[in-house]
Structure 1
Amino acid sequence: MRRGGGGGGRRLPKSSLAPSAASDRTPLLDPHVLHPRNLDLAFSRRDSDAASLCSSRPSSIGTGPSFAAPVTNFSDRASQAAALRVVNAYLAPAVSLRPPLPSAKDIVAAFRCPFKLTRSALKAPGTPHSWPPLLSVLYWLTLLVNSSESGAGGDDSPAASNDLMLYITNSYSLFISGDDDSVASLDEEYSSKARAHAQAAVEASQALEKEALDLESKRTKLTSGPSRLEALQAEKEALTADVEKFEAVVKSWTVKIQEKEESSVHLEKELEAKLMDQQRIAAENEELMKKVDAQVVNVRDVDRMQREIQSVERDNVKLENGNATLEEKGWELEAAVVGKLEEIEGLVEQCNQALRKLKPGIDFQYMLNTKASSPVELLGTSYKTIMKPALNSLADEARRISILKHDESVELEKQSQRNAKILSEKKNHISVCQTKTDEMVARLDSLDVEIGNHVSRCKADARLMKDELEKKDHHLSTVEKESEEFLKISEKKLEDAKRETDEEIQMCARELLKLIDSVTEYKEFMETSISGMRKDLYETVDDISSLASKAASTRQTSAQFVM
C-alpha cells in the first residue's frame, strides 16, 4: 500500500524477497537476473499510472520466451552510479550522429528493449520515479552497442604487419642499390622468421587446444563429482569416525594408566622392602667395622705400606715411559737425517746437470760423502780449486759476447729510426684514409640513426596495434564468459520468473483494488469533511455579518449618547 494516498510513494519489497546484500553487490559484476519484484522498484509509477502499469505489463501465461537481457537492480544508488560510469565511459570519445534521428520509442522498439518507457519518463527524466527505468534503458543500449562493436571488430581482417613493411622497405632499398647478396640474405632471414612465427603460432594453437581439453576435463570432473552437501556429509562421517577412534584410544590409555598405577604401587612396596634390607646390611657393616677395630694389627701401618708400594710402582712406570720417549726421538732424528741426505743428493744432482749445461770445459762433478762428520767433509774442497777458474773464463766470454750484442743493437737502432720515418709517412697516409673513412662512418651512422628511428616508430606502432588487439581479445573473452554465465543463470531462473510473475500480478491487482477502495473511502471522508467545513464557514460568515450590524448599532447609540 502507498503512504497516505500520495503520488510519490513507493511499494517496498518484502524482507523475504529482497536480499540484504543487494546494495553491497557491484551491479556490473552481478550475473544474476532480477525477478519482477525488483523491477517494480525501478518502474514504480504515480497513482495515476497504476492502471496503465497493470494493463501494459505482459503476462507470462501463454506467451513465448522474451528477449533475455542482463538486467540489474537500479533502485539503489550504488547500482545507478555503476551504470552511469559504464554509459559515460562509452560516451567519453567524440560520438557524432547523422540526422534525421528516429524517436526514442522507435529506437527502443527496433532493438527489442525489454524495458518500457512512458511519455512522462521521457518528458521529466530527472524525477525519482522516472530516472531508474530510463537509466536501465541507457545501460541496456550501452551493453548492446559494446557487444555489437566487439563482434564487428573481431570479424575485420588484421592490418598489414610492420615487420612485412620493414622487410619490403629494406629489400627495395637494397635492390635499388644493387646489392643482390644482401637482398638474398634478407629474403632468407625473413622467410626463416616467418616459418618460425608460423611454427610458434601452430604450437600456441596446440597449447590452447590442450588447455581447452584440460579445462573441459576439469569441468567434467567438477560436474561429475559429489556436491558440496555430500562432501560435507562425508567429511562429517569421517570426523565422527575419527572421534570414535579417539575415544577408543582414550579408553585404552585410561586402562593402561590404571595398570601402571597398580604396578607403581607394587614397586613402592618392593622399594620399602629394599630399604629395610639396606638398613639391615648397614647395621651388619657397622658391627664388622667394630670387630676390625678391635683386632691387634695396626691398620695405619698397613695403609702406610700400601702407599709406599704404590709410589714404587709409579716410579717404575715413569722410567719405562721415559725410555720409550727417548727411543721414539732417536728414531725421528734418524728419519730426519735420512730425509735431509736425500734432499742434498737431489741438489747435488741438479748442480751437476747445471754444470753439464754450462759446459765449462772441465770434467768436474760434485760428490757427496755420506760418512762425513762435518759440512766441509760432506762436499769436499776440490770445487774451489777447479770450479773458480772455469767460472771466471765463462764470465769473460759472456762480457765479450755482450759487447758484440751492444754493437749490433746500435746498428739495429739506426735501422729502426729509418723504419720509423717510413712508418710516419705511412701513418700520415693512413690518417688521410682514416678521415675519409670517418666521413663515410658518419654518413653510415646518420643512416643507421634514421633507420633506427624508423624501426622504433614501426615497433611503437606494432606495440600499439598489439595492445589494441590484446584489449579487444580480452574484452571479447570477458563478454563471452559473462554471456555464458548469464545464459546459464537465466535458464535456471526463467521458470521461477514465469511462476512468480502470475503471483506478482495477482498481488498487484489485489493491492490495486485495496488502493482504489482506500481512495474512495478517503474521497468520501474528504467530501463529508468539506461539507462540514462549508457549513461552519457559512455559520461564521453569518456571525461576522451580524457582528458588523451590531457594531454599527452600538456606534449610533454611543453617538446619540454623546450628543
Structure 2
Amino acid sequence: NKWDEDIVFFLKSQNCPLKITKSSLKAPNTPHNWPTILAVIHWLVELACYRQHLLTNSTSAPEANSMNFFAIRSFSHFIRLEDDLDSELQNEFLGKLEAEKASVAETISGYEKVSGELEAKLDSLRKGPSKKEALEKVKADLEKDVNKFRTIVVEYTDRTQAVEKVVEEKYKELKAKEEERERISEENKELKKNVELQNFSARDVERMRRELQAVERDVAEAEAARDGW
C-alpha cells in the first residue's frame, strides 16, 4: 500500500536528478507540484528510450568497442591501484588487438583481390564491345542470312516456273505426237485396206512396202524420242 515510498525509492535508485516527495505524489495536480511531476515523467520516458536503445543497438554498449572497454577497465584498475591486473589487461588487450589487426588485414586482402577481379572485368568490358553492340552485330548477321534465304527462295521460284513452263511445252509436244501417231496409224489401216482391195504390180507393192517401212520407222523414232524425254 506504500506505493509513494516505492516510487521515491525507485527514483533515487536510478539517480533521478529531480527530487520528489511523498506529499507531492499525493497532490500532483497542484500548481507548485505539477511542473516537478511532469519533469519526472519526462525524465522516466527519456530513461526508458535510452535503455531501449541499448537493448536494440549492441554497438552502444562499451563491450562492443574493444578500445572503449579496455579504457574503462584500465581506468578502473588505475583508480583501485591494481597495477598487476592492469598489466595483464594490457597484455590481453594487445593480443586481441593483434588478432583483430590480422583479421582486418586478411579482410582487406580479400577485398583487394575482389577489387582487382572487378577492375579486370571492368577493363575487359570497356575494351570489348558492349552488350548492345554485340546484339546489334548478331541482328545484322541474322538479317544477312534472311536476305540470302529470300534470294535463294526467289531463284528457286523462278527456276520452278521455268521448269513448269518447259514441262507444259513438252506435254503439248507429246500430245501432238500422240495425235500424229494416231493419225498415221489410221492412215496405215486405210492404206492396208486399199492395198487388199486393189490389184497392184510387184513394183507398186515393193514401193508401198518401202513407204510403209519408212512410216513405221518414223513412228518408232517418235516413240523412242518420247520415251527418252
- Structure richer in helix, relative to its length: 2
User: Same fold by TM-score, threshold 0.5 exceeded?
Assistant: no
- Structure having greater relative contact order (Cα 8 Å, sep ≥ 6): 1
